[in-house]
Chain A
């Protein structure tokens, strides 16, 4: 009897479509905004900066808006979206729960305490970069605490990870609220809240290198482990039988997730729901095999956040919304719909 391998779900197709959406989103993001710049001018500005070709016929403010504000911001949105989505996919394998996101590990509020402490106290030894650096350090501290709490006999048990992450999240969200209430200056409170809900407003060219590097490195490390990650989904015993030491893999995975989430959160604040919704949607498209899931989730996350950022900038123009608010407002109903269809699919209800 011969068996035909069932048709592989179209990973390449999904990647091609998502890459197209991402490119269209990036283009729209650079074209749209308060200052009107014609598409033609945008194209010439970008071409001039990239190749040095062409005559500068545009104003200095147009140049600044397109090249120094919109383009880096759109690219940061793509990087952060991709980073959070990949981080979410990895977290779901780490705690073996398709409904987990990187924030259950307590990293976000660790970052929040760091950033808010700098903003509220005004102590900024590193100048403008202080909040970001403090956020990253805060995320790493939260990571260390969760790691220590979740460690039992050298292994990181999924349930212990989630419980430790939740405990740390609650404790740190209390600290964050306290710090915010201590700030009597409404401007400070506003900027803190803006950070908590996620913002890409700080984007500039200098802020793109680090997330790009970290995203590329962690993506490579995760893809190298794609088959062991698949085995991890089946439980520690089965993984062991397939030559995958679950305890060791989970430690690597936690480190990668902490690094990736820490960097993204430090740059863009608490952008919610991408880490949960996007990997989930990617699974619906291409299945649970990480070899296809990780690239599809990365592209989908990038495209999603670029589009969300356009909405955040333009929906209540001239006021700007925090991107996290938009992702949550779009994300929550989408999530409920996914849970609903998933429950129907697996239980036959």
Chain B
């Protein structure tokens, strides 16, 4: 098990600073959620963690190793990602898609070993899509696709799993299924989530981002208060709890007196 630590991370796109000084700790085996309005820098921050966007400042370490000092291959052995966008202009089978998770473990010309095959089979089974192995990825439903992509990330066998809005376009049941699978995989998980209630239900620590900075963090029941939700998201919230758990549940409605500006 391995912890992920971000210290004073800055990320700039073009000349625009999008993430400005974010520090974040995901302890080993922890489930960390990142919430925030559109444009708050959630995806940009995660892209720097899976090395799609370079750091403009600060550091990211996994288990004490400086992520950006490693080769891309080695870094991908430590951090697996489920980005928002996966293109599928080319015909790829479900098996091939999941097997691509082995990419950072393979040297040039190396053939698939029995172990690779076993790891991919396990990942597909864990994600509940083993029966789809021979299907073409483009023929799958949204829920099936997301689970296949999760299988790919699991096949990567990285101690840290980064997910960017993994529940987008999924219906309620598939949202629960996917996050259930993710949090039962036993890895350190960092997920950007739109849905505050999903974050509250599945994360043990939540970071709230606004305009590229962390404005609050802590356990969901401490952080997701009506005051914070109104300030950051500009909507009114009533907080109850999910029966039988200590996870907060938010009932949201448009802000009284119309949209607010911060």
B87 touches A234 (CB 8 A): yes
Q: Which of A4, A240, A289 contacts B81 (CB 8 A)?
A: A240
> What separation, in Å, do the CA atoms of A288 and B138 have in the docked complex?
13
B121 touches A228 (CB 8 A): no
Q: Which of B89, B120, B124, B125 contacts A98 (CB 8 A)?
A: B89
A283 touches B91 (CB 8 A): yes
A3 touches B133 (CB 8 A): yes
For chain A, what secondary structure do more than half of its interface residues adopt (helix, strand, loop), or is it mixed? loop
Across the interface, which residues of A come within 8 angstroms of B75, CB to CB?
243
> What separation, in Å, do the CA atoms of A269 and B130 have in the docked complex?
49
A237 touches B103 (CB 8 A): no
B96 touches A237 (CB 8 A): no
A233 touches B92 (CB 8 A): yes
Min distance, Cβ B125 to any Cβ of chain A, angstroms: 5
A5 touches B121 (CB 8 A): yes
Q: Is B205 an interface residue (CB 8 A)?
A: no
Q: Is A96 an interface residue (CB 8 A)?
A: yes
Q: Is A319 an interface residue (CB 8 A)?
A: no
If the complex has contacts A3-B125, A5-B117, A288-B92, are A240 and B133 also in contact, measured as CB distance less than 8 A? no
> What separation, in Å, do the CA atoms of A242 and B77 have in the docked complex?
8
> What separation, in Å, do the CA atoms of A153 and B120 have in the docked complex?
36
Q: Which of B52, B92, B122, B138 contacts A236 (CB 8 A)?
A: B52
B90 touches A288 (CB 8 A): yes
Min distance, Cβ A178 to any Cβ of chain B, angstroms: 37
If the complex has contacts A4-B133, A243-B76, are A225 and B108 also in contact, measured as CB distance less than 8 A? yes
Number of A-B contacts (CB under 8 A): 122
Across the interface, which residues of A come within 8 angstroms of B95, CB to CB?
5-6
Q: Is B88 an interface residue (CB 8 A)?
A: yes
If the complex has contacts A3-B124, A6-B133, A233-B89, are A241 and B80 also in contact, measured as CB distance less than 8 A? yes
Q: Is B50 an interface residue (CB 8 A)?
A: yes
Q: Which of B76, B85, B108, B121 contacts A242 (CB 8 A)?
A: B76
> What separation, in Å, do the CA atoms of A242 and B162 have in the docked complex?
12
Across the interface, which residues of B come within 8 angstroms of A288, CB to CB?
90-92, 96
B50 touches A241 (CB 8 A): yes
Across the interface, which residues of B come within 8 angstroms of A228, CB to CB?
103
Min distance, Cβ B82 to any Cβ of chain A, angstroms: 8
Specify the chain A residue showing the minimal Cβ separation from B123.
A3
A96 touches B87 (CB 8 A): yes
Specify the chain B residue showing the minimal Cβ separation from A93.
B90
A287 touches B92 (CB 8 A): yes
Q: Which of A3, A223, A231, A241 contacts B52 (CB 8 A)?
A: A241
Specify the chain A residue showing the minimal Cβ separation from B122.
A3
> What separation, in Å, do the CA atoms of A6 and B72 have in the docked complex?
30
Q: Is A97 an interface residue (CB 8 A)?
A: yes
Across the interface, which residues of A come within 8 angstroms of B91, CB to CB?
283, 287-288
Min distance, Cβ B151 to any Cβ of chain A, angstroms: 10
Residues of chain A whose beta carbon lies under 8 Å from any beta carbon of chain B: 1-7, 96-98, 153, 223-225, 227-228, 230-231, 233-238, 240-245, 283, 287-289, 346
> Closest 7 interchain pairs by CB?
A243-B76, A241-B81, A243-B104, A3-B121, A240-B52, A6-B134, A237-B83
